[in-house]
């Protein structure tokens, strides 16, 4: 290991930090915790500290600590759109749970209101909202993320979550108590500030027949199963679609389906997905991403942009 790599994987935490974190988080803090189990790709080295945060006041305390100690931090949702480096993540990785996982749905005369915590599971939210007749919720069905991650990514299909957002509540190191934020939504991204955690979201849908909404959702879920390798570890589409085209079409036409690096493979079902065939490293995936991007550039003169977020330290894992 080179001196630079050794430096990059060195924990930023001192003994006093560990004690302070244990005081704030109790047994919900783990040190040197591998992140692979927390990502849909099942890839990623250790976090210096991994905190499971269950209440808004715990989150506020942890964010205050980060500000005071100038400690880097990062929030992970369901980990379904991230590639975490084999060298792991320095500082604190936070994951919301407890009260943040709740989702309440109420039907009013002509609309359906969803109030969800930042780590509410999209599967739970979409199922509950569909049962109340939330028109348009089918567009968000089958997205394996949390509400907070989906908001940051403006996740969706033909319609995106941003279209339905009425309120977003966030917490940050400089303003740790929950407060409303104003956010704009763009294709697979939002203007949500980098240093905020989404703690609560209110969504609003027009109301229609619950039966119709549920059956539309079912049709979409069946189609998804046929067109995406959902049984294998991956992170969905790796690249954003370029204007007026589909990344999957360009990748397939560049002949990349089935390409392999180590134990990572370009899916032969959906060319914009990269599957972990078992034991793939972040380096395998990153190398494959670079190969695919180069092939599409050479063949089509199109520069693909990553949809997945790369996080942490990328090193040679071997
Ligand atoms: C099989 C499969 C199918 C998919 N299909 C789709 C699809 O149809 N459409 C689509 O848009 N996406 C799709 N995705 C990608 C992914 O599911 C979405 O982007 C999802 O919304 C990410 O949510 P997450 O909770 O997993 O976020 P993560 O992957 O954990 O994080 C993504 C980003 O959001 C940030 N983040 C997470 N939680 C919070 C929070 N509470 N506050 C602030 N920032 C936060 C993270 O720091 C990171 O930068 C698919 C993925 C898979 C594996």
**pLDDT value of position 138:** 96
Average pLDDT, the chain: 96
pLDDT-based confidence at residue 56 (cuts at 50, 70, 90): very high
Residues paired with residue 170 on neighbouring β-strands, in sequence order: 179, 198
| 92 and 138 together in one domain | no
Q: Would you give the distance in Å from CA 313 to the centre of its chain? A: 18
**pLDDT value of position 317:** 61
Residues paired with residue 96 on neighbouring β-strands, in sequence order: 53
Position in ligand 1 atom list of the atom nearest CA 199: 41
Give 210's DSSP letter.
H
**pLDDT value of position 1:** 77
Tell me: pLDDT of 318 over 60.
no
CATH for 254: 3.90.78.10
pLDDT tens, 169-200?
999 999 999 999 999 999 999 999 999 999 99
| 77 and 154 together in one domain | no
Which of 47, 62, 80 most suits a substitution to test ligand 1, by most atoms within 8 Å of the C-beta? Answer: 80
**Residue at which a domain ends, from 99, 117, 151:** 99
| 95 and 105 together in one domain | no
Angle between helices 56-69 and 15-25 (to 10 degrees): 160
**pLDDT value of position 4:** 85
| Active site amino acids | 188, 237, 307
The helix (H) or strand (E) run that includes residue 74 is: strand 73-76
**Residue at which a domain ends, from 82, 99, 116:** 99
Question: Could you list the residue range(s) of the whole structural domain that residue 160 is in?
Answer: 101-227
Output the furthest CA–CA distance in the chain (Å, rounded): 64
- Report CA(149)–ligand 1 centroid distance (Å): 4
The fraction of the chain above a pLDDT of 70, given in percent, is: 99
**Is 82 inside any structural domain?**
yes
Alpha carbon distance 227, 195 (integer Å): 35
Alpha carbon distance 212, 5 (integer Å): 55
CATH for 117: 3.30.465.10
Angle between helices 210-227 and 122-131 (to 10 degrees): 150
- Report CA(250)–ligand 1 centroid distance (Å): 23
| 52 and 151 together in one domain | no
CB contact at 8 A, 196 and 171: yes
Strands 73-76 and 89-96: parallel
Which of 145, 168, 220, 275 most suits a substitution to test ligand 1, by most atoms within 8 Å of the C-beta? Answer: 145
Position in ligand 1 atom list of the atom nearest CA 152: 34
| 218 and 114 together in one domain | yes
Which of 43, 95, 149 most suits a substitution to test ligand 1, by most atoms within 8 Å of the C-beta? Answer: 149
CB contact at 8 A, 142 and 216: no
**pLDDT value of position 217:** 95
**Residue at which a domain ends, from 99, 130, 160:** 99
Q: Would you give the distance in Å from CA 7 to the centre of its chain? A: 27
**Is 236 inside any structural domain?**
no
**Is 139 inside any structural domain?**
yes
**pLDDT value of position 139:** 97
Alpha carbon distance 178, 55 (integer Å): 11
| 134 and 54 together in one domain | no
pTM over 0.75: yes
| 281 and 296 together in one domain | yes
Position in ligand 1 atom list of the atom nearest CA 40: 53
Neighbour tally for 199: CB within 10 Å: 24
| 144 and 200 together in one domain | yes
Alpha carbon distance 235, 238 (integer Å): 7
| 76 and 151 together in one domain | no
**Is 3 inside any structural domain?**
no
Q: Which residues line ligand 1 (CB under 6 A)?
A: 40, 74-82, 96, 118, 143-146, 148-150, 152-153, 155-157, 197-198, 228, 230, 234-236, 309
| 110 and 223 together in one domain | yes
Give 145's DSSP letter.
S
**Is 240 inside any structural domain?**
no
pLDDT-based confidence at residue 316 (cuts at 50, 70, 90): confident
Residue 2 phi, psi dihedral angles, 5° rounding = -70, 165
pLDDT tens, 262-307?
999 999 999 999 999 999 999 999 999 999 999 999 999 999 999 9
Strands 89-96 and 46-53: parallel
CATH for 68: 3.30.43.10
Number of separate domains in the chain:
3
Neighbour tally for 16: CB within 10 Å: 9
Nearest to 88 by CA among 7, 9, 4, 1: 9
Alpha carbon distance 273, 237 (integer Å): 5
| 92 and 117 together in one domain | no
């Amino acid at each position: 290991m080179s001196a630079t790599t050794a430096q990059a994987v060195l924990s930023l935490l001192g003994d006093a930090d560990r004690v302070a974190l244990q005081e704030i988080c109790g047994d919900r803090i783990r040190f040197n915790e591998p992140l692979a189990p927390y990502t849909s790709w099942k890839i990623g080295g250790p976090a210096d500290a991994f905190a499971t945060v269950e209440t808004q006041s715990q989150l506020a305390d942890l964010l205050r600590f980060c500000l005071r100690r100038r400690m880097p931090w990062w929030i992970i949702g369901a980990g379904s759109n991230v590639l975490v480096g084999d060298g792991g993540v320095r500082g604190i990785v936070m994951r919301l749970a407890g009260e943040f996982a709740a989702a309440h749905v109420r039907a009013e005369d002509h609309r359906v209101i969803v109030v969800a915590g930042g780590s509410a599971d999209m599967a739970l939210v979409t199922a509950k909202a569909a049962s109340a007749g939330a028109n348009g919720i089918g567009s968000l069905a089958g997205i394996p993320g949390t509400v907070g991650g989906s908001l940051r990514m403006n996740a969706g299909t033909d319609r995106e979550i941003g279209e339905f957002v009425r309120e977003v509540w966030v917490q940050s190191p400089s303003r740790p108590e929950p407060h409303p934020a104003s956010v704009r939504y763009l294709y697979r991204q939002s203007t949500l500030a980098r240093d905020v955690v989404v703690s609560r979201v209110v969504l609003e849908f027009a109301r229609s027949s619950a039966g119709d909404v549920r059956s539309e959702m079912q049709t979409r879920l069946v189609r998804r199963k046929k067109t995406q390798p959902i049984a294998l570890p991956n992170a969905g589409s790796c690249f954003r679609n370029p204007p007026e085209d589909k990344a999957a079409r360009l990748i397939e036409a560049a002949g990349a389906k089935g390409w392999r690096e180590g134990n990572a493979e370009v899916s032969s079902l959906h060319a914009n997905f990269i599957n972990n065939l078992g034991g793939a490293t972040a380096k395998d995936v990153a190398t494959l991403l670079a190969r695919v991007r180069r092939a599409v550039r050479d063949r089509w003169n199109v520069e693909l942009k990553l949809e997945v977020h790369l996080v942490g330290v990328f090193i040679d894992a071997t």
